[in-house]
Structure 1
Amino acid sequence: MTRANTAETRQGSPDRSDTGSVAARARIHRTLRGALRPEPWKRGLVLAALALLLGLLMLLHARITDRGGLGSLVETFLPWFGLFVPVLLAGALWRRSASAVAALVLPVVVWLSLFGGTLLDKSHAGGDLTVATHNVGADNPDPAGTARDLAASGTDVLALEEITPQAKPVYERELAKGYPHHAVLGTVGLWSKLPLSDTRPVDIETDYGPLADTKPVDRRTAESRALRTTVATDRGPLAVYVAHLGSVRVFPKTGFSTGGRDRNARALGEAVAAERNERVVLLGDLNGTVDDRALDGVTSRLRSAQDAAGDGFGFTWPTRFPLARIDHVLVRGVTPVSAWVLPATGSDHRPVAAGIDW
């Protein structure tokens, strides 16, 4: 009886060699399954590469060639590159890719280093003077309404760009009550509650246009896109520049064209550099953002009121869905304490204002 039971027990027990083969097959199965279904760090390598490229693009944007205006185009819309981060993050989570999530650290850090401070409210109460600028638009269907809206803002100094001969008397009439002092040269003008003096055109084509010096003075004034004047304040004279740089064009064959704008920017930068007054304010439509390398001649000498004392990006163009801040208040020798975007008017630009302090 005992021997039989022992024999039956031996027959029911698995053989050691069989156990080893089962374990080997399990190991092979796990290996094949791992090869066919990569671990989280092996998934989403394409997404990881795209995240790294995005970070490098924002980090090294200044090294992008400006041939065909590519560099200016990238820098104009540079803040919007941050929108690719949540898109890539969604893809990384869907793929359950740890490598893609880790790679996204680079663009996040770069974007925050470039624009993180922009999201903070840096404005303060007070200010000795409020200034504003607005490209009123040559095709503005309601210049009178635009003038009334701007007058209601209560700013002390108001700059207008793209003033047409037909709209000029309308602005002069509607702004006369609130702004007893004004000067208009060509398509730009300045209205002020304080006295103006030494108003003159700034030839932003000087030394760059082959016919700039051959034009008669009255013709250069009529075609002026920039002026310089002195505002008499209780704290001393303030040099104010109003400028409208050349438009950026897109051509099918040559691409993103910025030649005229760039020439204007260089000439304007030289004019500001030669300014003897310590306190300077530049108001205008520069057709470029402060990140655009083409404006370095201006932005290296003046600082942005929006960046120093604003809240958010302050996008101004186009009106319906602003994508870029191309209208600016730039200063030197005074301190911006606040900056904001005014409500839309009949123009395709939004007006911007700033409070400055001595």
Structure 2
Amino acid sequence: MDTAETEQGGPGRADADAGTWRADIRRLIRAGAPPGPWKRGPVLAALALLLGLIMLLHAQIPNRIGNLGSLVETLLPWFGLFIPVLLAGALWRRSALAVAALLLPVVVWLNLFGGLLSDKSHPGGDLTVVSHNVGAANPDPAGTAHDLAASGADVLALQELTQQARGTYEKELAKAYPYHTVQGTVGLWSKLPLSDTRPVDIQMDAGPLAATKPAHVKMTYNRALRTTVATDHGPLAVYVAHLGSVRVNPKAGFWTAHRDRGAQALGKAVAAEQNERVVLLGDLNGTMDDRAFAGITSRLRSAQDAAGDGFGFSWPAKFPMARIDQILVRGVEPKSSWVLPATGSDHLPVAARISW
């Protein structure tokens, strides 16, 4: 009887059909259900991994196309702003996958810049140095000179000095700084004696007519100098430099040709320096994360990185986004480094306290 009913579509066949129907319903429910937290947000997860890899492998990004590698390294700290944006997206999508992927850029960014979030300054120091691009278009050079003298700097380096403003700075700083030298568009004012002062050729003009220009014409546009400051602890070699400007445009990308040429020449000059104690002050038109400065950073270290509080951004003055004004040292110990209040320039002055 059971066999016959089954063969004729009796209760056995009905039970099988009901089981198939229930399985179909379950599959439809599963197909229509939202994906789980580990399957949501694959695009956000991919973007998080890409962000982490860009920061982790920034040195491998080639410069062949528009100096892309240098541009990324210049803006590297700001890549961290993408992390909270991606985190907000991951939380909105309730994506555990994206949150887990964000661990990579978080760890990489903290490894690169986490040390700058704390105050590494220490009390004391033997010498205060200040560097400032005073700005060729500065409407108040006298006020800028007063502000810089009030900083208490023992050694004061200025860049972008114009012929019109040079006399103002010399007059206003004479009382506080009995020793000074100006070589082209850069100068150094000091409370301590100077000696062995000379211009440094950073090859700003490498064109075919460069060799034919008279010496006095070249000197007018000289942008680097080297001098020796006599301290109580012995001679200190001080370099002042203003490297070439950079540009970002659609055709050339991140254009840095003059700056990079100057950085190479400056690196060679520092490498050849016989004095074991060296300070480099200047507007280098780049951050020390940029590979273009490898010849300099391999021999000098940043006072801001060693003893600063925060990132120490110095340009532009109204909304600082990068530290392109640098204080780099060798053979002396940075105790503190900071950014001074704005003057009439489009740069902020930077200062450091160093000791032996």
Structure 2 length normalisation: TM-score?
A: 0.92
Following the alignment from structure 1 to structure 2, what is the Cα–Cα distance between the partners of residues 251 and 78? 19
Match of 1:38 among 6, 20, 35: 35
Distance 2:236 2:44 in 1: 53
Check if 1:105 corresponds to 2:103: yes
Asked if structure 1 preserves the Cα contact closer than 8 Å seen for 2:204 and 2:244, the reply is: no
Partner of 1:96: 94
Partner of 1:236: 234
Partner in structure 2 of residue 7 of structure 1: none
Q: Deviations over 1:162-208 (max 9, x none)?
A: 00000001111111111111100110000001011111000101895
Matched, 1:171 2:169: yes
8 A contact 2:244–2:262 mirrored in 1: yes
**Alpha-carbon shift at residue 284 of structure 1 (Å):** 0.1
Q: Is the counterpart of residue 27 in structure 1 residue 64 in structure 2?
A: no
CA distance in 2, matches of 1:206, 1:27: 75
* Amino acid in structure 2 at the alignment position of 1:59: L
Determine the structure 2 residue equivalent to 1:57.
54
Q: Please give the secondary structure, in 2, of the residue aligned with 1:167.
A: helix
**Aligned-pair CA distance for 1:250:** 2.7
* Structure 1 runs, 4 residues or longer, greater than 6 Å off: 15-19
1:144, distance to aligned residue in structure 2 (A): 0.6
Aligned residues with identical type, % of pairs: 75
Contact 1:203 1:220 in 2 (8 A): no
Give 1:305's aligned residue.
303
Aligned length: 342
1:139 alignment counterpart = 137
Contact between 1:205 and 1:212, CA under 8 Å: does it hold in 2?
Answer: no
Return the match for 2:154 from 153, 156, 178. Answer: 156
Distance 2:216 2:204 in 1: 15
> Residues of 1 paired with 2:206 and 2:48: CA distance?
42
Question: In the alignment, what sits opposite 1:220?
Answer: 218
Whether 1:354 and 2:352 are equivalent positions in the alignment is yes
CA shift digits 1:59-79 (9 cap, x unpaired): 111111213121111111100
1:255: Cα distance to partner?
Answer: 2.2
Determine the structure 2 residue equivalent to 1:76.
Answer: 74
SS in 2 for 1:297: helix
Separation (CA, whole Å) in 2 of partners of 1:159 and 1:224: 15
**Contact kept? 1:207, 1:267, Cα under 8 Å:** no
Matched, 1:296 2:302: no
For residues 22 and 68 of structure 1, do their structure 2 counterparts lie closer, same or farther at Cα, with a shift above 3 Å needed? closer
- In structure 2, what residue type is equivalent to 1:74? V
Q: RMSD over aligned Cα, in angstroms?
A: 1.8
Q: In 2, are the aligned partners of 1:138 and 1:163 still within 8 Å (CA)?
A: yes
How far off is 1:20 after superposition? 4.7
Q: CA shift at 1:299, angstroms?
A: 1.2
Structure 1 runs not aligned, ≥5 long? 1-14
Q: For 1:28-84, what per-residue CA distance to the aligned partner results, in whole angstroms no more than 9, with x for missing partners?
A: 2432233xx111111110000000000001011111121312111111110000000
User: Which of the numbers 233, 248, 252 marks the counterpart of 2:246?
Assistant: 248
Structure 2, unaligned stretches of length 5 or more?
A: 1-13
What's the counterpart of residue 334 of structure 1? 332
Moved more, 86-95 or 16-25: 16-25
In structure 2, do the counterparts of structure 1 residues 19 and 204 end up closer, same or farther at CA, with 3 Å as the change threshold?
A: same
